[in-house]
Structure 1
Amino acid sequence: MASPLISPLELSHLIREHRPVRLLDVRWRLDAPEGRPAYLDGHLPGAVYVDLDRELARRDDPRQGRHPLPPREQLQEAARRWGVNSGDVVVAYDDLHSVAAARAWWVLTRSGLPDVRVLDGGLRGWLTERLPLDTGDVLPRRGDVELQEIEHGVADIDDVEDWPWKGVLLDVRAPERYRGDSEPLDPVAGHIPGAVNLPTTTHLVAGRFRSPDEIRAEFAAAGVVDGVAVAAYCGSGIAASHTALAGAIAGIDVTVYPGSWSQWSNSRGRLVAVGTTPSAEVSRL
């Protein structure tokens, strides 16, 4: 299976060959969700800005989480606005560990696009190779891509409640949020009972993904071995997509729970665990 990653030099080579490549600038982070100003100041040549909050998620009932999956019609309209055509190579990047870019990779791959990749190292990796940037907005010709509804590789709230009994459920947030020491965004601190903590940043070194063998070893240390079903969640389904990308690099199929902790912690009657182990101290919401 081809790697879902592409290096800056490989991407530069594709562009020089005039291959049909659509570049998506998915700059977003929790403390600065609006990435357009930074995009306008400098982006990869030809890259289109993607609004994660409005195009790669939908605004809905908060009980569905902060970033529910977009319906097919919304995502397809956005992809056509980005200029994506059938047969294009789509490359997503951001400027913070490829977490937001991984969300674009995951939803587009699950929607049926055959060749979606993430720029390893992101914007910083591109600049490290002394490759050029453009400024201003890019308004491409409207694309014609046809997308499918996302139906596979997705878990809902009831699935993840039972997941630890049949496989490994990964909580990919920072350890302090997993333990319940702090919770800056959601109403309750802690984790889903039975979940194992494997922060998604573990899969990176100097902003780039570790080797497939290293990633497989990290998953194995969390109990993910051949034949074991694995699902991942985070705060709102963004970082969990990054873990799914890491899994794909290592040949591991990771199911994503898009509602993640933001949905679970807003759902009355669910159990919450705190502490360093999967089910150390459990209470009910």
Structure 2
Amino acid sequence: MKREAVEPFVDVEWCKQNRRRVVLADVRWYLDGSPGREAYDGGHIPGAVFVDLDRWLSAEGSPLEGRNPLPAPHDFALGMREVGISDDDIVVAYDDAGGVIAARLVWMLRATGHNSAILDGGMASYKGPLETEHPSRPTGHFTAKPWPSARLAEIHELSTEANLVVDARNRDRFEGKQDPIDPRPGHVPGARNVPCRENLDASGKLHSKAELLRIFAAAGIASAENVISYCGSGVTACHNLLALEFAGLGRGRLFTGGWSQYGHALELPVELGPA
């Protein structure tokens, strides 16, 4: 029996209508190292489980692989089981940043054939009282699957003219005006800048499909077929990939190492300034 496809973004009303089929996942995580777990413990959407990005959605970082390489499939599956997620669940993930962090879990699940979506608008879209209790869920039945090579890109592919490389970081980091995290400022030569946070409106909700198409067209993107998305370390780059899919442009590929890998490869060229 063919499984129903779920859009990459869903709203609170959709979750209410499908509440018996949905597992809510809180994926709050902060680049400055502030613990997402503390934010979750302080109040989360009722019924949501906490998914620790550093523990379950990333392997240990290194200059060679970047700050947040993908975990081993076994480790990812173990994490999903531990929080009570099973193969047949529909996972709707949220954060307090409009979904740009939660996108990492959603992309990982969708890339391995699981139904998952970002809660459009994140925590702010939920208007009811938050809870501090941890939901009691049985251990999940989640199958470890290899990361699909067709959805990933390697560092050497960033310099291939056949690919359109898209940088999801904010414009100041893309242009090399500042970079407080990585060893070199700038971006991959020839990359286009589509800051993932600009996929959202002032309320933190995703723009309409028509507006997303306009944003991507302005960056020269008419199809995701040859797109490689990167960011600092393979987290927020997932938001651009999901937005491309939502807009009907298809599925691009993720360069997980991001600038945290590329910037350490001192033999590779760097470009400064706007695209």
TM-score (norm. length: structure 1): 0.89
Residue 228 of structure 2: which of 227, 231, 240 is its match? 231
CA contact (8 A) 1:67 1:237 kept: yes
Letter in 1 for 2:256: P
Alignment of 1:235-274 (within 5 A): 235-252=232-249, 253-274=251-272
Deviations 1:19-78 (A, max 9, x none): 232111101121244111111121122211111111100104332100001110010000
* CA spacing shift, 1:23–1:276, aligned 2, 3 Å: same
In the TM superposition, residue 161 of structure 1 has moved relative to its aligned partner by 2.3
1:273 partner SS? coil
Letter in 1 for 2:175: R
CA contact (8 A) 2:27 2:102 kept: yes
How many residue pairs get matched? 268
> 1:99 and 1:153 mapped to 2: Cα distance?
19
Letter in 1 for 2:178: S
> 2:43 and 2:61 mapped to 1: Cα distance?
32
In the TM superposition, residue 169 of structure 1 has moved relative to its aligned partner by 0.8
Structure 1 window deviating more from structure 2 (204-213 vs 25-34): it is 25-34
CA contact (8 A) 1:79 1:143 kept: yes
In the TM superposition, residue 2 of structure 1 has moved relative to its aligned partner by 4.3
CA contact (8 A) 1:66 1:262 kept: yes
> Aligned residue for 1:24?
25
Letter in 2 for 1:145: F
> 1:62 and 1:270 mapped to 2: Cα distance?
14
Letter in 1 for 2:77: Q
Q: Report sequence identity in percent.
A: 37
* CA spacing shift, 1:268–1:139, aligned 2, 3 Å: farther
> Aligned residue for 1:11?
15
Letter in 2 for 1:119: L
1:192 maps onto 2:188 in alignment: yes
Unaligned runs of 5+ in 1: 278-285
> 2:121 and 2:177 mapped to 1: Cα distance?
31
> Aligned residue for 2:218?
221
> 1:219 and 1:145 mapped to 2: Cα distance?
35
Letter in 2 for 1:107: M
1:177 partner SS? helix
CA contact (8 A) 2:100 2:197 kept: no
> Aligned residue for 1:112?
113
> 2:6 and 2:153 mapped to 1: Cα distance?
25
CA contact (8 A) 1:92 1:119 kept: yes
> CA RMSD for the aligned pairs?
1.5
Residue 209 of structure 1: which of 206, 211, 217 is its match? 206
> 1:83 and 1:250 mapped to 2: Cα distance?
31
> 1:276 and 1:254 mapped to 2: Cα distance?
23
TM-score (norm. length: structure 2): 0.93
Alignment of 1:1-285 (within 5 A): 2-15=6-19, 19-113=20-114, 115-127=115-127, 131-151=128-148, 152-162=150-160, 165-205=161-201, 206-226=203-223, 229-252=226-249, 253-277=251-275
Unaligned runs of 5+ in 2: none
> 1:51 and 1:228 mapped to 2: Cα distance?
31
CA contact (8 A) 2:166 2:229 kept: yes
> 1:144 and 1:103 mapped to 2: Cα distance?
21
